[in-house]
Amino acid sequence: MSNTTTPNTKKKQLDWTLLLRVLAQARPYKLTFAIATILAIVLAPLSIVSPYLIQETIDNYILIFNPEGLNRMLMLLLAVLFLNGALRYAFIYSTSWLGQAVIQDLRVRIFKHITSLRLKYFDKTAIGTSTTRTINDIETINTVFSQGVITIIADILSIFAVLGIMFYTSWQLTLICITTFPFLVLSTYIFKEKVKVAYQKVRTQISKMNAFLQERITGMRIVQIFNAEEKELKTFQSINNDYTKANLDSILYYAIFFPVIEILSAISLGLLVWWGAKGVIEGEVTLGALIAFPIYLNMLFRPMRMLADKFNTLQMGLVASERVFNVLDNTEQIENEGGLKPEKLKGSIEFKDVHFAYNPGEPVLKGLNFKVKPYETLAIVGSTGSGKSTIVNILNRFYETESGAILVDNENIKNYELAAYRQRLAMVLQDVFLFSGSVHDNITLRDESISRAQVIEAAKMIGADEFIQKLPGTYDYEVMERGATLSMGQRQLISFVRALVFNPDILILDEATSSIDPETEGVIQHAIKKLITKRTSIIIAHRLSTIKHANQIMVLDKGQIMEIGTHEELLQNENGHYKELYEMQFLTKVEG
């Protein structure tokens, strides 16, 4: 028996813990939260004043023909109505404002947190899922404040206040009116449970849809190249059908629940009229009470009808908040406990018995040992999957090593403050990513400390200024998402200017020339020579002809160093991997 009850108890405790954690997000806005709570408490008794005044007016002023008293009661009734309206406006506005303020802070927190996570998180999590957490789920948390806790408290207080005045006015009439309450409670409970399940399905399906759309729209070029539009459309239709079905299920439950509540309300009203009319005739119930009771009844059924929906809204807000907190609680952050903040690095690099694996039991780097002196260039070559890009990933601290140490200027890279360390490194990738915005913004990444003159000077040095000047608007030319309106060579040149303008001490080029056409290659090679001057460089390349100038060339195979030396030294090794690779490329070029 204990085994079956424990999980439920634990889940209930978890929900309360989660609710308290959500409410704790409003701590910076304690005053607004307090005002909203006070208004909820005040509005409960105030809402019943109007029908009570109507009852008193009929019984004590209209029936006995007291015009002077009637005028006073009407003025009082109008004052109460205006006060009630003003306070309700303040209540709705304060709860909505509170919700918006909380989710505004949460958006900033989660975006900041996501940008601090290791790349391992992004390797496992679809972009659409992260987008859903940052936008849809956080927006749903807003309902915990605007339509959730405080409004539920207000409705519950209102129900008790209405029941109290009804019993005070006529306990017999009240008992007759609430005979349908057991059916109301039962139908409300069933509705709440059914809609909760439907809502959970809706949240799951919208997350799937966002992830699917993000990936397909980003990869639309591949979809069209391989003529996969129809296949992807069928997949999307399946996801869309599941999402629509989840929404229709919730609509179905609403379509059943509200008519049931209306029927129960009509039955209560019918019983009220039947018993009340009889009570008026027999003198047991006043006419004012009989007229006021339908208003009380409406005020009783309205919050009861909405409570189930609000509980589900609250539940969905908690489900969304749990997903958001799961991201915030993700500990896959890069450790940043170092205190060294160098203004400049000499640029020496040393790997000491470095081991690394993306997945446990699948080693990628197996005890690497090598050194790069300041201002030297190390070229890394090897087959796909040999660990070339992994070396620069762990050097940048995108991932953490399993064992061994990486030293920069004879200091473990973990001893450097992360932002200060990365500020001294720059990386140019094969797949250049450009953001929507101007060429200038893509070069500076909106770093206001970099002037336009510095950008132009760097572009001229690299050889990119010539093509930029030909663009409409030159440096203010609006680059489309991912640089779709620019050629591969132009995007690559912009990335070189970006690297140079940040003036790094260590430069990494990861396959930066592999996708460049022969006409652009000359410009790119000139750019590379300018970039590596007076700085330590690591170049990963497939084209061996582009790395002859390197001080050292390291040949990797399955995470191990097979050879290391200069271009000439490695060619002298008759049975070496480098000589074999070079001859293969040379022969292919000659035959071509």
CA distance 30 to 18: 19
Give ranges for CATH 3.40.50.300 in the chain.
342-424+538-592
pLDDT score at 132: 73
Question: What share of the chain in percent tops pLDDT 70?
Answer: 92
Contact 135, 214 (CB under 8 A): no
Contact 98, 33 (CB under 8 A): yes
| Predicted local distance difference test score (pLDDT) of residue 407 | 92
Residue 556: pLDDT band with limits 50, 70, 90: confident
Residue 9 has, within 13 A of its CA and on its CB side, a CA count of 6
Query: DSSP code of 480?
Result: P
Q: Which residues are CB-contacts of 76 (< 8 A; sequence separation ≥ 6)? A: 53
Torsion of the alpha carbons at 486, 492, 493 and 499, rounded to the nearest 10: 130
Handedness of CA 155, 158, 163, 166 (dihedral sign): negative
Q: Tell me 333's DSSP state.
A: B
pLDDT at 521 (0 to 100): 64
Tell me if 524 sits within 8 A of 493, measured CB to CB.
yes
Token output for 273: 């009229």
Task: Give the pLDDT confidence score for residue 126 in this predicted structure.
Answer: 66
| Range name among 134-148, 260-274, 429-443, 573-587 with the lowest pLDDT average | 573-587
* Burial bucket for residue 268 (CB in 10 Å: 0-12, 13-18, 19+): buried
CA–CA dist 44, 84 (Å, integer): 10
Would you say residue 534 has pLDDT above 70?
yes
Residue-wise DSSP of 193-246:
HHHHHHHHHHHHHHHHHHHHHHHHHHTHHHHHHTT-HHHHHHHHHHHHHHHHHH
- pLDDT over threshold 60, residue 18: yes
> Between these two residues, 92 and 313, which has the higher pLDDT value?
92
Q: Work out the average pLDDT over 510-532.
A: 67
Task: List every span in the chain annotated with CATH 1.20.1560.10.
Answer: 2-328
User: What average pLDDT does the segment 293-301 reach?
Assistant: 83
Pick from 3-7, 290-294, 318-322: least confident: 3-7
| Spatial CB neighbours of 384, under 8 Å, sequence gap ≥ 6 | none
Q: What is the pLDDT of residue 359?
A: 82
| Amino acid in position 74 | L
* Residue 332: closest CA among 419, 405, 396, 399: 399
Question: Do β-strands 403-408 and 377-382 pair in parallel, antiparallel, or remain unpaired?
Answer: unpaired
Lowest mean pLDDT among 276-285, 321-330, 366-375, 423-432: 276-285
Q: What is the DSSP letter of 178?
A: G
Chain position carrying tokens 């200069």: 566
Predicted confidence (pLDDT) at residue 33 exceeds the cutoff of 60: yes
| pLDDT band at residue 519 under the 50/70/90 scheme | low
| CA nearest neighbour of 116 among 437, 397, 390 | 397
Taking the C-alpha atoms of residue 121 and residue 496, their distance in angstroms, rounded to an integer, is: 28
Strands 478-479 and 437-438, sheet pairing: antiparallel
User: Residue 423's CB: how many other CB atoms inside 10 A?
Assistant: 18
Per DSSP, the residues of 48-112 read THHHHHHHHHIIIIITTT-HHHHHHHHHHHHHHHHHHHHHHHHHHHHHHHHHHHHHHHHHHHHHH
Mean pLDDT lowest for which of 230-234, 246-250, 546-550? 546-550
Residue 330 has pLDDT above 80, yes or no: no
Q: For residue 405, give the nearest of 358, 354, 349 by alpha carbon.
A: 354
Q: What mean pLDDT comes out for the span 107-128?
A: 77
Q: Residues 271-288: what's their mean pLDDT?
A: 78
Q: What is the distance between the alpha carbons of residues 187 and 309, in angstroms, rounded to a whole number?
A: 12
Please give the helix or strand (H or E) that residue 355 lies within, else none: strand 349-359
Residue in 369, 380, 357, 356 with CA at minimum distance from that of residue 407: 369
Task: Read off the pLDDT of each residue in 290-302 and give the average, rounded to a whole number.
Answer: 83
Three-state DSSP at 470 gives coil
CA angle, residues 411, 348, 454, in degrees to nearest 5: 105
CATH architecture, domain defined by 2-328: Up-down Bundle (1.20)
pLDDT value of residue 31: 93
- Non-local CB neighbours of 120 within 8 Å, separated by 6+ positions: 332, 358, 399
pLDDT tens figures, 452-511: 898 888 888 877 888 888 888 888 888 876 666 787 778 888 888 888 888 888 888 887
How, if at all, do strands 425-429 and 506-510 pair?
parallel
Give me the mean pLDDT over the 316-330 stretch.
Answer: 82
Q: Is 367 helix (H, G, I), strand (E, B) or coil?
A: strand
pLDDT at 2: 37
Closest CA to 540 of 514, 503, 517, 579: 514
Return the pLDDT at 82. Answer: 92
Q: Which residues, 6+ apart, have CB-to-CB distance to 457 below 8 Å?
A: none
pLDDT confidence of residue 512: 62
* 524-541 mean pLDDT: 79
Q: What is the mean pLDDT of the chain?
A: 81
The radius of gyration of the chain from alpha carbons, rounded to an integer in Å, stands at: 35
C-alpha 581/C-alpha 553 separation (Å) is: 13
- Answer whether 0.85 is exceeded by the pTM: no
Give the pLDDT confidence score for residue 522 in this predicted structure.
Answer: 67
State mean pLDDT over 95-116.
Answer: 87
pLDDT at residue 366 is higher than 50: yes
Q: How far apart are CA 288 and CA 276, in angstroms?
A: 11
For residues 243 and 21, give the distance between their C-alpha atoms in angstroms, rounded to a whole number.
30
pLDDT of 592? 46
What CATH number does the domain located at 342-424+538-592 have? 3.40.50.300
CA 280/CA 277 separation, integer angstroms? 5
* Highest mean pLDDT out of 144-153, 399-408, 479-488, 490-499: 399-408
Instruction: Render pLDDT for 162-188 as a digit per residue (tens, 0 to 9).
Output: 888 888 888 888 888 888 888 888 887
How far is CA 462 from each of CA 448, 480, 485, rounded to the nearest angstrom? 21, 23, 21
Tell me the C-alpha to C-alpha distance, in Å, between residue 186 and each of 160, 193, 260, 479: 19, 11, 11, 59
Tell me what pLDDT residue 97 has.
Answer: 92
How much is the pLDDT for 90? Answer: 93
